[in-house]
Structure 1
Amino acid sequence: MRNLIALVLGSAAAIAPPAHAEAGDVYLRLRGIVVAPNESSGSILPAFPGEKVKVDNSVMPEVDVTWMATDHIGLELIAATTKHSASGRTGTTGGIGKLASTWVLPPTLTAQYHPIPDGPVRPYIGIGVNYTAFYSEKPSAALEAAVGETRVSMKDSFGWALQAGVDVDLTKKVFVNLDVKYLDIDTTATLRTTAAGTQRVRVSLDPLVFGVGLGIRL
């Protein structure tokens, strides 16, 4: 797979006409992304000390817009939403398995540095902030079978972001994009149950977001 990607990028660079990223340019990208949480969970308290949760990956499309403030500095805003499930790891909650699901909306703004704005292959790095909103939180059927009717809520998060990527021209307007981001996302999940009372668990999600797609210079 690594060799195939290198071949595609090398071929694109060889055939693409010269292009130049200039101040005022606007890029629109459509990526397919894999959001892979690197979760670190606290205990589910107060009823299940020592029992933690894990969060699954998600695959979704993503749209982003970049505005070049100068030849070398760009501002990128991304918009994507993904659905994730949280499951118990061990003990009682591990036996239940899937505990809850939520949709996650993390709009992220990064300031990018483009060291080679005048080439057909243009790497960049970025740093910025994200605000993450959790919505449509739902308990699993297995959880409600174990502890009765349950309401789930998750606290929104504000954190930083890191980014690295590359644009490879196919034509003067169309390019391939490869991108990876790290998002700092922390939340507290609250489960209000009939049989077990109110339980809370602190989770640092901190996902890596891997993206590949196409872009167009508007």
Structure 2
Amino acid sequence: MNKLFTTIFAVTVSCVTVASLAQEIKGDAKAGETKNAMCIGCHGIKGYQASFPEVYKVPMISGQSAKYIVAALNEYKKGERKHPTMRAIADSLTDQDMADLAAHYSADGTVAAAQPVKAVKEPSAEVKALLNKANCASCHGATFSNPIDPSYPKLGGQHADYLFVALKAYKVDNNPKVGRSNAIMSGMAKQYTNPELKLLANYLASVDGDLKTIPQKKFR
């Protein structure tokens, strides 16, 4: 019995140690800048539009939080976000690659000096009611650029058409190529009609935020 307990304890400690090491992967922004060749063709061109599953501007990721970028890439890799191109790219990345890219993009274009927090743009009564319905600010922050957890995305100033496509994706079930399987966000998104989601997306896009598109300085 003691031998069995010792074995179980050793395996448990080993698993915890592996998990801890995984969490401690540190991203290198300089290394990330040399690994972004597959990213810059879409995310490094202002106004660039994707055509799947519909035409929309690709999201701005410069200034997004590093933990969110890593979380999103892992969701593509696991198939929790169903997008064939992004899944293929995520599949090619190691955990260190993801951490390095996230470090690069989270720092890209940011200003070193702390900026004063701006008052968030006041929504219309209709949009305010929609925001309160799912209590969006409780996770994404009062300004929608200061989420309560860095693994949640900053939304303020993001492209409206991208936000609309992303929000709709949480409502899709049992489609092998389209959809996002996040239980919390699925529950939230399914409370709204698509026209309501578009109103939310348009408002969030109009709010000042940290997100930018930083064009590639040079091609290597």
TM-score by length of 1: 0.20
Relative to total residues, which structure has the larger strand share, 1 or 2? Answer: 1
- Greater relative CO, 1 or 2 (CA 8 Å, sep 6+): 2
Larger radius of gyration: 1
Q: What is the TM-score when the length of structure 2 is the normalising length?
A: 0.20
